[in-house]
Amino acid sequence: MRTQMQACLAGRGGEVSARARAAELGRTYLGLDSTGRRNFLTVLARDFDVDRAVVDKAVDAFHRAVDPASRGDAERALRAALEPGRMRLLTQFNGLPEGIKFLVDMRAQLLEWARDDSLMSALEADMKTLLRNWFDVGFLELRRITWDSPASLLEKLIAYEAVHEIRGWQDLKDRLDSDRRCFAFFHPRMPDEPLIFVEVALVTGMSDNVQTLLDEAAPVQDPQTADTAIFYSISNAQKGLAGISFGNFLIKRVVDDLTAEFPKLKHFATLSPIPGFRRWLDGELAKGEGVVTNGESARIADLFADPDVLPPESGATLAAVLDRPDWQRDEATVKVVKPILMRLCATYLIDAKAGKRARDPVAHFHLSNGARMERLNWLGDTSDKGLRQSAGLMINYRYKLGDIEANHESYTGDGKINVSSYVKAHQKSTG
Amino acid sequence: MRTQMQACLAGRGGEVSARARAAELGRTYLGLDSTGRRNFLTVLARDFDVDRAVVDKAVDAFHRAVDPASRGDAERALRAALEPGRMRLLTQFNGLPEGIKFLVDMRAQLLEWARDDSLMSALEADMKTLLRNWFDVGFLELRRITWDSPASLLEKLIAYEAVHEIRGWQDLKDRLDSDRRCFAFFHPRMPDEPLIFVEVALVTGMSDNVQTLLDEAAPVQDPQTADTAIFYSISNAQKGLAGISFGNFLIKRVVDDLTAEFPKLKHFATLSPIPGFRRWLDGELAKGEGVVTNGESARIADLFADPDVLPPESGATLAAVLDRPDWQRDEATVKVVKPILMRLCATYLIDAKAGKRARDPVAHFHLSNGARMERLNWLGDTSDKGLRQSAGLMINYRYKLGDIEANHESYTGDGKINVSSYVKAHQKSTG
Amino acid sequence: MRTQMQACLAGRGGEVSARARAAELGRTYLGLDSTGRRNFLTVLARDFDVDRAVVDKAVDAFHRAVDPASRGDAERALRAALEPGRMRLLTQFNGLPEGIKFLVDMRAQLLEWARDDSLMSALEADMKTLLRNWFDVGFLELRRITWDSPASLLEKLIAYEAVHEIRGWQDLKDRLDSDRRCFAFFHPRMPDEPLIFVEVALVTGMSDNVQTLLDEAAPVQDPQTADTAIFYSISNAQKGLAGISFGNFLIKRVVDDLTAEFPKLKHFATLSPIPGFRRWLDGELAKGEGVVTNGESARIADLFADPDVLPPESGATLAAVLDRPDWQRDEATVKVVKPILMRLCATYLIDAKAGKRARDPVAHFHLSNGARMERLNWLGDTSDKGLRQSAGLMINYRYKLGDIEANHESYTGDGKINVSSYVKAHQKSTG
Amino acid sequence: MRTQMQACLAGRGGEVSARARAAELGRTYLGLDSTGRRNFLTVLARDFDVDRAVVDKAVDAFHRAVDPASRGDAERALRAALEPGRMRLLTQFNGLPEGIKFLVDMRAQLLEWARDDSLMSALEADMKTLLRNWFDVGFLELRRITWDSPASLLEKLIAYEAVHEIRGWQDLKDRLDSDRRCFAFFHPRMPDEPLIFVEVALVTGMSDNVQTLLDEAAPVQDPQTADTAIFYSISNAQKGLAGISFGNFLIKRVVDDLTAEFPKLKHFATLSPIPGFRRWLDGELAKGEGVVTNGESARIADLFADPDVLPPESGATLAAVLDRPDWQRDEATVKVVKPILMRLCATYLIDAKAGKRARDPVAHFHLSNGARMERLNWLGDTSDKGLRQSAGLMINYRYKLGDIEANHESYTGDGKINVSSYVKAHQKSTG
């Protein structure tokens, strides 16, 4: 295998032959089991790294270069020396019939193994460089996906949808109806594979509940009268492109397209999950440090008929309520916990940080794209997943065209969380 | 302008906004005159080079890194530091609607200015890196071009043909007839612009004269009976892609396609110009060092009726003959000079070197692709250009599928000129 | 409405305006309920029939014409006079955006009403003339349907499949797998609507069981090794094209296409239902005239444990067996009834006629296309429908390329049922 | 041949085989020379006419039918009997790969021979019926033709252009520039053959000169600012479709398309030749009956220096002036003849009739489409053809959307020539 790799890199028999050999090597890789593939990648990472002797020599030359021109040459030479040999082989794999998909999938595999293996990690970094270059957004094609799209493509939407599971072909058909839109980015050499896709509902007023939005029995609306486009699902489709971001460009392009098609559209917003809320909340409640006020705690306690089963700590009480099956259907429970959860969720979204970033990953994505937290929606997602992740809450992030740049700047620059007064108001103590 | 560039690089307002700004900057560039563009590129090259302080720091860190893992990180950091800031801006131009064509044309311009300007030269080198990456052959699409292709595309063939001028639409139509083939490589984001194209004639026996091949009055042959595919013209179409080679891949792909379509095809050869022959010959003759033998010299002298007009030096005599208008139509002249020119041309092709490479650029291209010099053709191209460049001689390079790799190796490795005994035989002294 | 129709026919305002008015009329029709549509069509049929005064005059002129030239003119004039005015209006509906689909669906409606309404019947006959002309097979396009076809088209296959119900998207996907083929005819102005489609399995040996063929768990075979193409389902998709036959052309074209793609294919056969068998058998059994022999009858009687429940007549006994749930799973039952049912089915297929035609409609279709009855398959279709229609039996019709024309001739000319000796042998008494 | 034809009609071997045989017959026809083809068509016309015995029997049955239902049946039976057998064979030719083009070209041939041959004429009439049916405008596709269209298609425009000759590829490219439009109708089974095409210029103000309009050196205008679309050329492309009219639909569709693309367009007009003017004028002048007044005659006479060369009759004098080379460049001549020719041309256009139709064929076409004669243009076409056909005059026909229907009615109903007061004014005597 190593010999074959060397032959490719030596360009023996010419570049055409080297590509042919790389293609053969690629087919070999595809025929291997997991252990074989790991060996293959290990050889590639270890034996075709930068040549340290060459680098050291280039660094020496760099130090000796003094006049501007020779320093420029020395820099370029050093840069070249620092490019591992395996980069060339990775590039050659592009000669496979579906070469670029091959590389994307190879990186998906590497990402898994890179967690605890520095060789894999270095190779993965090289692949990311290569793929980031090749998947420059300038090469991507925005395509609308409709019910007239190939079944083989639609099937992939069902598989890749990561936010609100598509429950079958009828659900999918509804999501492609005349009052819905679906757009995806494609790479010209992977024309059958979406890279990322977004699902949009054209509605009147800002949607507050995803089950209503996805109700198969709901009547189709006239999209020409809609004033709001709701981006209710954005899914990355290729694990191997993790860390190479297209979502911001996708939202911008889709807003442009929709504006051209529907001049009456005035508002662009998401209906988004808050995937980290319960995890954060459970952590806070476990600490028992008073994230729930005494007054709140007392009101929650009243929900328990038998004081003997009352959990000893305040936090645990709320947790216990949320553990009850169908708690959200019980009127008395809701009356008590709704203001408390709304307050806590607003606090999580606004104050919980990871460094300067919002802690919630979906919040971070939209804030860094220039959106604003617009409205919290009580029981916006009552699916099992929705209850489990965010106690059923959802949020609208709003993209106001004139504010996007400033919002982006203040968030990425100063870590400012842009938030409406409406959301902010939930933070006030409920007593 | 510099401020605008900085804004793009700072990513102010987010990557989406940066792209929009880069696009604006690109449109500004297109609106500039030559001086303005040169200024623009100068600013880009000078003010957005690598940050030397950052590089020096990265080199220091590199020296301090000792254990393998930290050395790997230091290498990657140093590589990143050595990438000039302008690379990112160049990449952002790809967001223009025809961004990649924009960059290709910008490099075409830079190549001109780079000859005597080291700043331009450095920027040009960056662009080459970028474009080589994006124009990886794995992304290219081979398309057959026919008379059913768009007129706007065919018009470009007329403009770009670099070997045998296309004299108009009828000539072009003939070159796309049923016994001809034309193939080109395209990039998916430049779908209307051929990168390189090749014209092929399907014939019986190896063609020896390009005027016969391109004769509009000649009858169309049945391609199903052809045994030989003659590649009679290969033209690069994009100046801005100079130095990024596709020709070898093109020939390989076309041979594969033709083999599949016409199972009776057995031979693949070119009918090629020898563009450097006369320039070399004139140089040799000017030296007057006996490249023409005494015997030859005497025979040439006999062609001059009046000894008074006889040029004093032997070489000059041959030059004087070739300066006569229509010398090639004069039987007596041809009888004398044909063996001499064939000998000299074989010598030029086989022995004239530029380092280890064949001196003739077309010879170098085909030899490095694994072809062999097969046959010299007397008066193979009697056009003005043909007479001026190569005294009317042409050559067939032959691609014998089983020998291509070995030929490539021996040429690129040892500088061996692969040549048939038939061509070699011309080298023997004519007395 | 009548006035609008008259305006169209008068061509008031020019042919362009007449078409625009007809389109409007068409949209009016689409907006009507069933009663309204029936009125609409009644007006069209009654008030825009041939003008009898004009016809009578043309007949007179025809009688007066004696010399050949004037007789020719008189014939043409009479032919024109006999064309009802409504034909022109029907033609004008073709100007609707989906005009031809409009007409096809209108005829589907008419066919229903024509059963007991001579006005409707006359209008339906006109439409058939028009549509037969427009759906000439020369205009149809054969397209392969794959899993890459639009979901909106595939959905129609599920709806239109008339032989073996497609149970969902996975079943459909299996029927489009690499060892399957599906082809349909399309009209260029109804590009999203299949007219007729056929499903083919590429197998080794002639299939004898449709459940096996459609088993989702069965492994995919390599189609390159298949020697037999089984046409296991042919469905007409447009009710409005009833009586306009494409099936024969479809089979011919698909055989040609498959032969070109798979040179190893040697046999072409169907695996067909025998939809009329049980209906015929039940009728015969009801007559009680000895279609079942005494010996057979006795053996069947033995299957009944309690003689008290034994039906009094011989025929009824067999009917009673076939009414038992899951009779086909009972070994003893099968042992007795298999030879009897095979004999009766062969008799039905070979001897039951409707005039000179085979009584079974599927048999008639394939025999008139030149196929031969090849093999009866015991329990070839154990679905509810299969058991109900044909006691689980299926038949292979074989298309032997060299015999098709002769078979067609002998069947359509003399009513000869072409049948293999293998099928014929089943007719022999089972004692 | 007759036998082969009979085999097709008998449907021997089934309809599939009949089609195959018809295709073979078609290929035979294509291989014949002119005499052979004439024989072929004669056999087809003579031996496959209606069967008179069958017709006579159907007429008898028709007379005997009295009640409505049986009369309806008798009518249909008679109609069927009156359809010549050859119609079925003509239909079968549609099975040829390019069957419909085959039939169109066959009719083009028949139209030539039909002039003096009643058999050919009858066959031609059948073909017209068939083709009119198949080329129903509802089946046609309007396509814009651009410089990106296939060269093989554009080449046909050059060949088929019937009004203002296209002088080469550059002229064609100019006619497809951004301020021009070209549209054509296509039949889905003849996708590479335009049926009729129109060339449009987007201009400001109504064009008065076709040389200016087609000037290759003229700058391209911004089509977004144009207020007028000038239809300066409409050409039928298929001789075999003579008498089957698409022009009216084409103009309507193109007006709709242009209106949608360019909301600022307000006027739609032609710049049309007056092809019959000189022929009519020469006839009138030859009669010598005073179409030129005495006063006019005297003024023309003054243009002749030498009274001896003066033609004796008044009419002849004008004819003599128009025979002078470059008369239109002579200021004195123009001063005298311009008002006279404008008067005579207005008279020709308004008063010269062929029955109720305008005598000028182009006038008849546009008037029957609902246009109005808007403006006469002096020296609107100074090409040889323009001077020869219409003394250089051209006319604008204007399509005013609100008046089209009424104009059509008054012209086709009452023969009213719709004409502007501007054109009418030219009719006043010039003294």
Q: Is B328 helix (H, G, I), strand (E, B) or coil?
A: helix
Contact assignment for C94 to D188 by CB distance below 8 Å: no
pLDDT in tens, A226-273: 999 999 999 999 999 999 988 889 999 999 999 999 999 999 999 999
Instruction: Say whether the ipTM exceeds 0.85.
Output: yes
| B260 Cβ contact list (under 8 Å, min separation 6) | none
Q: Is B160 helix (H, G, I), strand (E, B) or coil?
A: helix
- Residues A397-409: what's their mean pLDDT? 91
How near does any CA of chain D get to the CA of C169, in Å? 32
Give the A window 105-164 contacts with B, CB below 8 Å. 118, 122, 125, 133-134, 136-139
Q: How many CA atoms lie less than 13 Å away from B212 in the CB half-sphere?
A: 11
Q: Is A203 helix (H, G, I), strand (E, B) or coil?
A: strand
| Residue showing tokens 């195959």 | D20
pLDDT in tens, D150-208: 999 999 999 999 889 999 999 999 999 999 999 999 999 999 999 999 999 999 999 99
pLDDT in tens, D238-261: 999 999 988 889 999 999 999 999
| C124 Cβ contact list (under 8 Å, min separation 6) | C107, C110, C111, C114
Candidate from A147, A149, A151 with C-beta closest to C147: A151
pLDDT of residue C320: 87
* C&D contacts, CB < 8 Å: 136
Helix axes C14-31, C2-10, angle to 10 degrees: 150
pLDDT of residue D429: 67
Burial A305-322 (b: 16+ CB within 10 A, else e): eeeeebeeebbbbbbbbb
How near does any CA of chain C get to the CA of D104, in Å? 14
pLDDT of residue A330: 92
Cα–Cα distance for residue pair D251/A255, rounded to 1 Å = 37
> Looking at the predicted structure, is the pLDDT value of residue A195 above 90?
yes
**Sheet (strand D394-398) strand order:** D141-144, D180-186, D196-203, D228-236, D267-270, D394-398, D372-377
Chain B interface disruption, residue of D144, D149, D152, most B CBs within 10 A: D152
Candidate from D82, D99, D406 with C-beta closest to C79: D82
pLDDT values of chain B reduced to their tens digit, one per residue, 431 residues: 788 888 777 777 788 888 888 999 999 999 999 999 999 999 999 999 999 899 999 999 999 998 877 888 899 999 999 999 999 999 999 988 899 999 999 999 999 999 989 899 999 999 999 999 999 999 999 999 999 999 999 999 999 998 899 999 999 999 999 999 999 999 999 999 999 999 999 999 999 999 999 998 888 999 999 999 999 999 999 999 999 988 889 999 999 999 999 999 999 999 999 999 999 999 998 887 678 888 888 888 888 766 566 555 556 688 889 989 899 999 999 999 999 999 999 999 999 999 999 999 999 999 998 999 999 999 999 999 999 999 999 999 999 988 988 898 899 888 999 999 999 999 986 66
Contact assignment for A134 to B137 by CB distance below 8 Å: no
Candidate from C72, C125, C248 with C-beta closest to D15: C248
Chain A interface disruption, residue of C145, C147, C157, C171, most A CBs within 10 A: C147
Cα–Cα distance for residue pair A376/A272, rounded to 1 Å = 10
Is B247 part of the contact surface with chain A (CB cutoff 8 Å)? no
Known catalytic residue: B364?
no
Chains B and C touching, counted as 3 or more CB pairs less than 8 Å apart: no
Cα–Cα distance for residue pair D345/C83, rounded to 1 Å = 43
With beta carbons under 8 A apart, name residues in chain D contacting B149: 150-151
* Numbers of helices and strands, H then E, in chain A: 20, 9
Residue-range domains of chain B with CATH:
2-49+84-134 (1.20.140.90), 138-270 (3.40.630.180), 277-425 (3.40.630.150)
With beta carbons under 8 A apart, name residues in chain C contacting D79: 79, 82-83
* A&C contacts, CB < 8 Å: 29
How near does any CA of chain C get to the CA of D206, in Å? 25
pLDDT of residue C166: 95
How near does any CA of chain D get to the CA of C429, in Å? 35
What is the reported pTM? 0.92
Pairing of strands C372-377, C394-399: antiparallel
pLDDT of residue D310: 57
Average pLDDT, chain D: 91
> Looking at the predicted structure, is the pLDDT value of residue D346 above 90?
yes
Give the B window 4-23 contacts with A, CB below 8 Å. 12-17, 19
pLDDT of residue C428: 85
pLDDT of residue C4: 81
Q: Which of B275, B268, B273 lies closest to B233 in space, CA to CA?
A: B273
pLDDT of residue A40: 94
Contact assignment for C150 to A151 by CB distance below 8 Å: yes
Average pLDDT, chain A: 91
3-state helix, strand, coil split of chain B in percent (to 5) is: 60, 10, 30
pLDDT of residue C7: 79
Cα–Cα distance for residue pair C269/C394, rounded to 1 Å = 12
| Residue showing tokens 């060892």 | C179
pLDDT of residue A307: 58
Residue ranges for chain C with pLDDT beneath 70:
289, 305-316, 429-431
pLDDT of residue A315: 61
Q: How many CA atoms lie less than 13 Å away from D135 in the CB half-sphere?
A: 28
| Residue showing tokens 């080298």 | B427
Residue of chain B with shortest Cα separation from D192: B148
With beta carbons under 8 A apart, name residues in chain C contacting D63: 59
> Looking at the predicted structure, is the pLDDT value of residue A312 above 70?
no
Cα–Cα distance for residue pair B226/A189, rounded to 1 Å = 35
Is D410 part of the contact surface with chain C (CB cutoff 8 Å)? no
Chains A and B touching, counted as 3 or more CB pairs less than 8 Å apart: yes
Cα–Cα distance for residue pair C90/C110, rounded to 1 Å = 13
Cα–Cα distance for residue pair B309/B123, rounded to 1 Å = 55
Burial C367-378 (b: 16+ CB within 10 A, else e): bbbbbbbbbbbb
pLDDT of residue D3: 83
Known catalytic residue: B164?
no
Candidate from B147, B152, B153 with C-beta closest to D152: B147
Contact between residue A51 and residue A81 where contact means Cβ atoms under 8 Å apart: yes
With beta carbons under 8 A apart, name residues in chain D contacting C369: 14, 16
Q: Which of D229, D232, D236, D423 lies closest to D344 in space, CA to CA?
A: D423
How near does any CA of chain D get to the CA of B146, in Å? 9
Chains D and B touching, counted as 3 or more CB pairs less than 8 Å apart: yes
Q: Is A126 helix (H, G, I), strand (E, B) or coil?
A: helix
With beta carbons under 8 A apart, name residues in chain A contacting B118: 69, 72
pLDDT of residue B249: 92
pLDDT of residue C346: 96
Candidate from C148, C149, C152 with C-beta closest to A147: C152
Residue of chain D with shortest Cα separation from B168: D169
pLDDT of residue A193: 97
pLDDT of residue A339: 94
| β-pair partners for B200 | B181, B231
Is D256 part of the contact surface with chain C (CB cutoff 8 Å)? no
Cα–Cα distance for residue pair B5/B8, rounded to 1 Å = 5
Contact assignment for D150 to B152 by CB distance below 8 Å: no
| Residue showing tokens 């390159």 | C224
pLDDT of residue D72: 85
* B&D contacts, CB < 8 Å: 29
Cα B169–Cα B172–Cα B175 angle in degrees, nearest 5: 155
Cα–Cα distance for residue pair D397/B76, rounded to 1 Å = 74
Residue of chain A with shortest Cα separation from B405: A13
Least confident of A33-37, A387-391, C141-145, D213-217: D213-217
Candidate from D13, D52, D368 with C-beta closest to C405: D13
pLDDT in tens, D23-81: 999 999 999 999 999 999 999 999 999 998 999 999 999 999 888 778 888 999 999 99
Pairing of strands C394-399, D141-144: unpaired
Q: Chains that contact D by 3+ CB pairs under 8 Å? A: B, C
C300 burial level (CB within 10 Å; 0-12, 13-18, 19+): buried
Q: Which of C207, C272, C314, C390 is catalytic?
A: C272
pLDDT of residue C83: 93
Q: Which of A233, A272, A314, A390 is catalytic?
A: A272
Q: Which of A237, A208, A248, A222 lies closest to A374 in space, CA to CA?
A: A208
Model confidence band, residue D314 (pLDDT cutoffs 50, 70, 90): low
How near does any CA of chain A get to the CA of C154, in Å? 8
Is B61 part of the contact surface with chain A (CB cutoff 8 Å)? no
Cα–Cα distance for residue pair B25/B31, rounded to 1 Å = 10
Is D261 part of the contact surface with chain C (CB cutoff 8 Å)? no
Is A173 part of the contact surface with chain C (CB cutoff 8 Å)? yes
How near does any CA of chain A get to the CA of B150, in Å? 21
Contact between residue A232 and residue A366 where contact means Cβ atoms under 8 Å apart: no
Pairing of strands C372-377, C357-358: unpaired
Cα–Cα distance for residue pair B412/B416, rounded to 1 Å = 8
D287 burial level (CB within 10 Å; 0-12, 13-18, 19+): exposed
